Amino acid sequence: MQAAKLPITAGWGWIQDGFTLFRRQPMAMFFWSMVTGLLITLSYLIPIFGQMALIACTPLLTFVTLCACRNIAAGRPMLLPMWLAPLSDKETRKRLLALGLSYLLVSLAAGFMATLPFISQLTSAIDPQGAIDEAALMTAMRGPFLTFAMLYIIVSGFFWHAPALIGWHGIPMRQALFYSMVACWRNKLPFLAYGISWAAIFFLIQFIGNFISNAGVSAGAVQLLLTPVNIIVAAVLYCSFYPAYISVFGANYHAER
């Protein structure tokens, strides 16, 4: 599959197109954003294992999101039974779950690789009696965090388009990972603009929250005000996945299976 090479401005264009999709059926995507937020919250009820399960299910959730966006783009109203319809095929579920397990294993490996070189610094922040020097620990964690962030960019490249390539086209996982990485590498500048743009948007929301809080508004009121904003922004983020896919692989590569 030939991936298009797009200009850097395409990164911001994906966000604009995502917002356009959101405006077509805002309640549908608002609902999905709330569902994913609830799943994230529930995952923290079971420390570590809950987050691992969520990571393993990420390709399934991504594929559901992409299918919903495709329906919205085609002008089909997203009714409740339609959300799980993309996972009705047993073979598709099986292959996406295999992709999710691979994503989990690779993410864990990346975390291990990022942490291993800094073990001595991390352990030095804990004295023989088990007391933790929080300042020293935070300083020691910078290295692992930055290293993992760089490794995760590579991991994301392999898995970014893979759910669509596997779910819509039945491409074997190894090929899907390869095609996804090639597509992301060919469009590294648009993805850089895409990432920076989203970082700026989330920073702006945080800045507004801090500004309102400093103006004397209670923390509870600020959270009440920003919660729907965060849900909407997350919904637009999910909607932007679809134009990122179809602009790279073209309209001929997202037909119904």
Residue 114 within any structural domain of the chain:
yes
Give the pair of three-digit tokens for residue 122. Answer: 């991390």
Model confidence over 121-146: pLDDT tens digits?
878 777 666 677 777 778 888 888 99
**Pick the residue with more confidence: 251 or 186?**
186
Residue 214 within any structural domain of the chain:
yes
> What are the DSSP E strand ranges found in 76-187?
none
Amino acid 254: pLDDT: 45
Length of the chain: 257
257 — pLDDT class (breaks 50, 70, 90): very low
Residue 142 within any structural domain of the chain:
yes
By the 8 A CB rule, do 54 and 39 touch? yes
Contacts 24+ apart (CB under 8 A), 178-185: 179/1, 179/3, 181/157, 182/3, 183/3, 183/248, 183/249, 184/156, 184/157, 184/160, 185/157
For residues 213 and 79, give the distance between their C-alpha atoms in angstroms, rounded to a whole number. 39
Number of compact structural domains in the chain: 1
Mean pLDDT over residues 218-231, rounded? 91
Please name the amino acid found at residue 91.
E
Distances (CA, A) of 17 to 11, 20, 21, 78, 122: 10, 5, 6, 18, 44
Please name the amino acid found at residue 165.
L
Residue 152 within any structural domain of the chain:
yes
Amino acid 156: pLDDT: 96
Model confidence over 200-217: pLDDT tens digits?
999 999 999 999 999 888
Residue 69 within any structural domain of the chain:
yes
Give the pair of three-digit tokens for residue 220. Answer: 């509870």
Residue 103 within any structural domain of the chain:
yes
With CA atoms as reference, report the closest residue to 251 among 84, 88, 74. 74
Amino acid 251: pLDDT: 56
Residue 2 within any structural domain of the chain:
no
**What's the whole-model pTM score?**
0.90
Residue 101 within any structural domain of the chain:
yes
Domain of 72 in residue numbering reads as 10-253
